A = this chain, B = another copy of it.
């Protein structure tokens, strides 16, 4: 029953471990493609165009916005970030589930455009653990950590908009769980309209006894 891929949005608190999770998921299973964002910010020394980001200038980015070439976009710190539609579409058509990591505003933009997108929210086992992880990096002041926790409070307000929450306690267990949830999502009726229409039509023919 698996044909076209599903667009999968992964959000979650900063510090919940989304990046590691997604990398591991893509390594472990062939079913997925990680989306690559476009940005107008300059590449850092270790970054490569088409690997970390598609780098482009502001004019090119705004043209993409104007002609619907982005699945979602946002502006942070004077730079645009967005998801190019052509890459997403080509992967979905090839039957890959495309994973993209964005925040709630982008997630809700995507749901409008792709009603069958799957929205996942990654959470730590509890708030104390999130604080430990934020602190654990060891590079931040108390003020910065508190700022991040405040942001987490804001982010938490959107959890109910998501289809599933995934608790990132143990990495391997969490990757398994993500894979299970995505596999299950392929079985919803609204992601299988063609299959359902076909079986309905076939049943009607058989019930009429024309064969």
Using a CB–CB cutoff of 8 Å, the interface residues on chain A facing chain B are 1, 121, 123, 126-128, 130-131, 142, 146, 149-150, 152-153, 156-157, 159-160, 162-167, 177, 180-181, 183-185, 187-190, 192, 195-196, 198-200, 202-207, 209
Contact = CB atoms under 8 A, between A and B. Distances in A.
How many copies are assembled?
A: 2
B167 A1 contact: yes
A160 B203 contact: no
Contact of A127 (B150, B152, B181, B203): B203
Contacts of A164: 184, 187-189
The binding surface of chain A is classed by DSSP as helix
A102 B185 CA distance: 23
List 3 tightest A-B contacts by C-beta distance, closest first.
A127-B202, A149-B207, A184-B184
Given A180-B183, A184-B181, A196-B160, A146 B209 contact: yes
Interface centre among A153, A166, A177 (most CB of B within 10 A): A153
A202 B126 contact: yes
A180 to B, nearest CB: 5
Contacts of A165: 187-189, 192, 195-196
Nearest to A124: B199
Contacts of A196: 156, 159-160, 165
A78 to B, nearest CB: 27
Contact of A206 (B128, B157, B184, B204): B128
A188 B130 CA distance: 20
B189 A156 contact: no
B188 A163 contact: yes
Given A184-B180, A184-B184, A202 B128 contact: yes
A190 B127 contact: no
A189 B160 contact: yes
Interface centre among A146, A183, A184, A209 (most CB of B within 10 A): A184
